[in-house]
Amino acid sequence: MRAVVQRVLNASVSIGGQMTASIEKGLMVLIGVEVGDTEKDARYIADKCVGLRIFDDEKGVPNLSVVDVGGSILAVSQFTLSGDARHGRRPSYIDAERPEKARPLFETVKAYMREGGASVESGTFMADMQVSLVNDGPFTILLQSKKEF
């Protein structure tokens, strides 16, 4: 499982011009479920997102989590994170999990985030979404449950 975590001042998701989810200060998390991912991968990504100490403390040092600062998480499923563009110019998505398996794992990630104390909003699985955000910093972290980077 892969995730792109961005510290944001605000973020939102719209579908067909209608805003469906939004947060203020917090994390925008794009989540890609890959073939072979399990509940263990979902737990890893959720725990990392909730626990990442990337918000500034009173000294201006990134030492606080999204929960510590009372922020929220906007989670969006994005199968294209599994794209492999190493060969040619058209990415291959063969490593992306099929929707019928990916959806429950995406829901599990969100449930674990909530269990960890985070307020979680969400995009709509498999919808054509327009995502807006103001990246704070910018501060962006890449996570992968298989720990390849």
State pLDDT tens for residues 93-115: 999 999 999 999 999 999 999 99
**Number of folded domains in the chain?**
1
In a domain, 49, yes or no: yes
The yes-or-no answer on residue 20 being catalytic is no
Which of these is catalytic: 38, 80, 124, 140?
80
In a domain, 126, yes or no: yes
Q: Which of 35-39, 64-68, 84-88, 116-120 has the lowest mean pLDDT?
A: 84-88
State pLDDT tens for residues 29-56: 999 999 999 999 999 999 999 999 999 9
Q: Which contacts qualify for 94-101: CB closer than 8 Å, 24 or more apart?
A: 94/35, 95/34, 95/35, 96/32, 96/33, 96/34, 96/35, 97/33, 97/34, 97/35, 97/36, 97/37, 99/125, 99/126, 101/33
- 45 CB-side CA count, 13 A: 32
The yes-or-no answer on residue 79 being catalytic is yes
CB 78 within 8 A of CB 122: no
Q: What gap in Å lies between CA 52 and CA 9, rounded to an integer? A: 16
- Report the CATH number that the domain containing residue 42 is assigned in CATH: 3.50.80.10
In a domain, 149, yes or no: no
The yes-or-no answer on residue 80 being catalytic is yes
Q: What gap in Å lies between CA 70 and CA 50, rounded to an integer? A: 11
pTM of the model: 0.94
The encoded tokens of residue 108 equal 């599990």
In a domain, 23, yes or no: yes
Q: What is the model's pLDDT at position 45? A: 98
Domain carrying residue 128 = 2-142
- Mean predicted lDDT score pLDDT of the chain: 96
Q: Which residue has the higher pLDDT, 149 or 102?
A: 102
Which of these is catalytic: 6, 55, 78, 108?
78
